[in-house]
């Protein structure tokens, strides 16, 4: 049985920022590519439903969640967590900067597109510094405050998944883990918190540490991201540095990949405004 491809959205910035960052280009590409392989579902609020409809981005189903309506903070993972806790059938949750080129699936309970931190594979000083700064140092006090040392002491900081692509074959298990995390962090009132950096802790790090603690089987589609930016004019595709051709695009370079997560695209506006439009034309030829 094919997984549902679910998306989640609540606008947490102004419309001008979304336009300047070419967000809607990526959203169109993400949904249109996923729809070729999956039934698409959007979890959002009333404003979000209007925003996507206005821009011609259509889903097989749109679900208005009161939990998302009531969010007033900027912990950007909370709409996603509420969506995943609400969906009852096996799914893949996709971020709006993810291009799908095959059917997402995993033989295990959970699967991710790639690890954001994988020190078993990349143990250079930049990878170690990123793990230490973004996960260990940033959240050390929070972990000590809210979680039993017997639990946190066993943490392996060598692997942290990226949630651009998250495959869930057991929604009730994922929901129970997130409920436990949110209960532990009740005092932070995450739906109304202005601590946006908590998203990485709650969505990615803690969820995965519970998965490891419970010895739940999981998979990664790739050992490292199959795509990354160097500059507006140069990217890395399947570990190969590649010059960007602004006339023909990069479709011929990425068409063998299972997906591309255009992580950190906001830093590369020229690429976002040109290459993504070319990909959209390739995806939806006129």
Q: What is the DSSP string of 222-249?
A: -SS-SEEEEETTEEEETTEEEE--TTT-
Instruction: Tell whether the model's pLDDT for residue 285 goes beyond 90.
Output: no
136 CB-near residues (< 8 Å, 6+ apart) = 157
Number of H helices, E strands in the chain: 13, 14
Residue bearing tokens 């946006």: 196
Greater confidence, 60 or 130? 60
Q: Quick check: 60 pLDDT over 60?
A: yes
Tokens of 111: 């699967």
How much of the chain, in percent, has pLDDT values that exceed 70? Answer: 99
Asked whether the predicted pLDDT for residue 286 surpasses 70, the reply is: no
Lowest mean pLDDT among 7-11, 18-22, 24-28, 101-105: 18-22
Count CB atoms within 10 A of the CB of residue 45: 20
DSSP per position, 155-184 = --TTEEE-TTEEEES-HHHHHHHHHHHHHH
CA distance 42 to 63: 6
Q: Tokens 């209960």: give the residue.
A: 183
Least confident of 53-67, 81-95, 99-113, 139-153: 139-153
CA 138/CA 106 separation, integer angstroms: 31
pLDDT digits (tens, 9 = 90+) for 155-202: 989 999 999 999 999 999 999 999 999 999 999 999 999 999 999 999
96 C-beta neighbours (distance < 10 Å), count: 19
Output the CA torsion sign for 21, 22, 24, 28. negative
User: Which of 250, 242, 237 has its CA nearest to residue 278?
Assistant: 250
The reply to whether the predicted model has a pTM over 0.75 is yes
Between 138 and 7, the higher pLDDT residue: 7
Rounded to an integer, what distance in angstroms lies between the CA atom of residue 144 and that of residue 153? 10
Give 90-137 pLDDT, tens digit per residue: 999 999 999 999 999 999 999 999 999 988 888 778 888 988 898 888
Within 8 A by CB and 6+ apart from 125, the residues are none
**Mean pLDDT in residue range 26-42:** 97
Question: Lowest-pLDDT range, 120-124, 153-157, 234-238, 270-274?
Answer: 120-124
């Amino acid at each position: 049985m094919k997984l549902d491809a679910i998306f989640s959205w609540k606008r947490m910035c102004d419309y001008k920022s979304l336009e300047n960052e070419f967000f809607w280009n990526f959203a169109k590409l993400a949904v249109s590519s996923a729809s070729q392989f999956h039934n698409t579902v959007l979890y959002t609020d009333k404003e979000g439903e209007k925003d996507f409809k206005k821009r011609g981005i259509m889903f097989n189903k749109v679900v208005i969640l009161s939990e998302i309506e009531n969010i007033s903070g900027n912990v950007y993972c909370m709409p996603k967590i509420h969506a995943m806790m609400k969906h009852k059938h096996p799914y893949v949750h996709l971020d709006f900067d993810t291009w799908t080129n095959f059917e997402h699936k995993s033989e295990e309970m959970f699967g991710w597109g790639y690890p954001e931190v994988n020190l078993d594979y990349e143990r250079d000083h930049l990878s170690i510094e990123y793990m230490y700064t973004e996960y260990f140092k940033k959240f050390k006090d929070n972990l000590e405050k809210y979680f039993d040392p017997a639990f946190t002491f066993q943490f392996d900081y060598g692997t942290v998944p990226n949630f651009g692509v998250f495959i869930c074959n057991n929604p009730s298990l994922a929901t129970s883990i997130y409920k436990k995390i949110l209960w532990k962090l009740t005092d932070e009132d995450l739906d109304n918190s202005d601590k946006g950096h908590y998203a990485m802790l709650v969505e990615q790090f803690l969820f995965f540490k519970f998965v490891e603690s419970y010895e739940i089987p999981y998979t990664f589609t790739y050992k490292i991201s199959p795509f990354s930016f160097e500059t507006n004019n140069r990217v890395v595709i399947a570990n190969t540095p590649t010059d960007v051709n602004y006339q023909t695009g990069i479709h011929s370079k990425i068409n063998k990949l299972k997906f591309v997560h255009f992580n950190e695209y906001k830093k590369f506006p020229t690429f976002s405004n040109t290459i993504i439009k070319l990909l959209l034309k390739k995806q939806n030829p006129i």
